[in-house]
Amino acid sequence: MIAVDTNILVYAHREDSPWHSAAVICVIQLAEGRAPWAIPWACVHEFLAVVTHPKIYRPATPLTSALEQLDAWVQSPSLHLIGEMGNYWPMLRPVLASGRIAGPMTHDARIVAVCRQHGVEILWSSDRDYSRFGGLDVVNPLLG
């Protein structure tokens, strides 16, 4: 299963992104395909925080538009929204320790642990920081 990181979702949503066209194609292929794909709940939250933030985007995406975008993705019958389950700590702890995590990198470790917990094999992201974690292939689908 492929999971999609926040940055790909933001690029697919924001038409002013230089990566918009490529990201839209990638997300549409997943959403309209039959293969299961995932968005971690943490990425849903971060997507909303980023696109609606007036210091990041001028103009920021109105909340109603951001929610409509999420509604459209959630309607994909092959989408799985994934989050922490009961055995999360035994998944997170080694990710934190092996990646020597501090500060904001904890968020990336969380995404990796949740993906592992749900059997995700590939994470689509343009964030190179994920390279410090093992056990999950990180692919930037925007590079062709």
Domains and CATH numbers, the chain: 2-143 (3.40.50.1010)
Under DSSP, the state recorded for 85 is -
Query: Residue 17 corresponds to which amino acid?
Result: S
pTM of the model: 0.94
Q: Do residues 33 and 78 make contact, with C-beta atoms less than 8 angstroms apart?
A: yes
Q: Do residues 6 and 43 make contact, with C-beta atoms less than 8 angstroms apart?
A: yes
**pLDDT per position as a tens digit, 15-73:** 999 999 999 999 999 999 999 999 999 999 999 999 999 999 999 999 999 999 999 99
Q: 86-122: b or e for each residue (b if 16 or more CB lie within 10 Å)?
A: eeeeebbeebbeebebeeebeebbbbbbbbbbbebeb
